[in-house]
Amino acid sequence: MAGKLRRLEALTQARREQRRKRGALVLQRHEWKIVVQRETAAIEVRPIEPASPARRMVAELMILTNELAAQLSRERQLPTIYRGQAAPTTPLPTLDPTDPLALVLLRGLITPAFLSLRPETHWALGLPAYTQVTSPLRRYGDLVLQQQIVAHLAGDPLPYDETALLTVLGTLERSEQAMRRLESSVTQRWALEYVARQDRALPRRGWIVGEVGGGYKVRLAECGAEGLLNARPGSYRLGQELLLRVERLIPRRGTMRLVPAA
């Protein structure tokens, strides 16, 4: 079994390198998993290791599966919801793929992905066509497209034509935006609750991740919670690391105010 896994890891590494040579943006996304114990309400923050062999292998195989689904749909002319992304219009800076702020530093330079009923190039993945079918329990669109492909392979009538998919597409765009907002707010709420249960006087490491009215948005390295640092424009640069202290914190509102640590 170990030998088979090593072989599979080598194949997925080769596949990832192939996409990178096509121009794919291969960066490590730094995330945190927040676990709240049901019995005690204790909060545990677990950094997700983006470079673990298992995580990278599964991610690459999911990308491959989605690419093959898009390729099949295009070749068989199946009505499908594709996902595309246009290439940046300006040259991108050279970044360390392991930099936890790499995606932050690219903000505003890369365009968001979009949905389409026609095959579209996905620049960030380095693929000529892409869709999503790997998470039918979590994403309604994946379930729809799995049903479409299964019906085609079984020789049954397709459950969705382009008109029906247009309705699904509109629903997907709204629901995905709503789910992203909800996930972000829930994660922020419990990350702040985690901070609130600790000594606020302790210095905390954080990064500047954006500019907002009246100051800068800062992300704490320990848990990913974000807060406001009041400062004049030009006081800090995007990606700058600071030592900070919590001045004010209201977890239920998702707000935190930070000041430089003395």
| 211: CATH | 2.40.50.140
For 155-170, what is each residue's pLDDT tens digit? 999 999 999 999 998 8
Domain of residue 94 covers: 28-196
pTM beyond 0.95: the answer is: no
Burial class (CB in 10 A: 0-12, 13-18, 19+), 141: buried
The mean pLDDT of 131-145, rounded to a whole number, is 94
108 found inside a domain: yes
Q: Could you give the 3-state DSSP secondary structure of residue 47?
A: strand
8 found inside a domain: no
Q: What is the token pair recorded at 197?
A: 């249960």
**CA nearest 87: which of 37, 126, 45?**
126
For 102-132, what is each residue's pLDDT tens digit? 887 787 788 999 999 999 999 999 999 999 9
79 found inside a domain: yes
- Dihedral angle of Cα 169, 128, 58, 154, to the nearest 10 degrees: 60
Cα separation, 53 vs 49, in Å, equals: 9
Domain co-membership, 84 together with 146: yes
- Predicted confidence at residue 49, as pLDDT, reads 78
- Predicted confidence at residue 138, as pLDDT, reads 87
- For the chain, the domain total comes to 2
- Better pLDDT: 239 or 29: 239
Choose the final residue of a domain: 196, 218, 246: 196
Choose the final residue of a domain: 140, 165, 196: 196
Choose the final residue of a domain: 158, 174, 196: 196
Domain co-membership, 174 together with 220: no
Domain co-membership, 37 together with 153: yes
**CA nearest 206: which of 180, 243, 166?**
243
Domain co-membership, 131 together with 248: no
69 found inside a domain: yes
Cα separation, 157 vs 211, in Å, equals: 52
- Predicted confidence at residue 149, as pLDDT, reads 98
Percent with pLDDT over 90 in the chain: 65
- Better pLDDT: 187 or 49: 187
For 171-184, what is each residue's pLDDT tens digit? 888 888 898 899 99
Q: Could you give the 3-state DSSP secondary structure of residue 242?
A: strand
Instruction: Kindly report the backbone phi and psi dihedral angles of residue 82, in degrees, each rounded to the nearest multiple of 5, phi listed first.
Output: -95, 160
**Looking at this protein, which amino acid is placed at residue 101?**
L
Instruction: Kindly report the backbone phi and psi dihedral angles of residue 218, in degrees, each rounded to the nearest multiple of 5, phi listed first.
Output: -120, 140
Domain co-membership, 235 together with 114: no
| Mean pLDDT, rounded, of the chain | 91
What are the C-alpha distances in Å from 235 to residues 49, 205, 214, 216, 230? Answer: 32, 17, 12, 9, 10
- Predicted confidence at residue 134, as pLDDT, reads 97
Domain co-membership, 71 together with 178: yes
32 found inside a domain: yes
**Looking at this protein, which amino acid is placed at residue 213?**
G
- Better pLDDT: 142 or 47: 142
Domain co-membership, 230 together with 167: no
Domain co-membership, 188 together with 208: no
Contact 204, 220 (CB under 8 A): yes
- Predicted confidence at residue 246, as pLDDT, reads 96
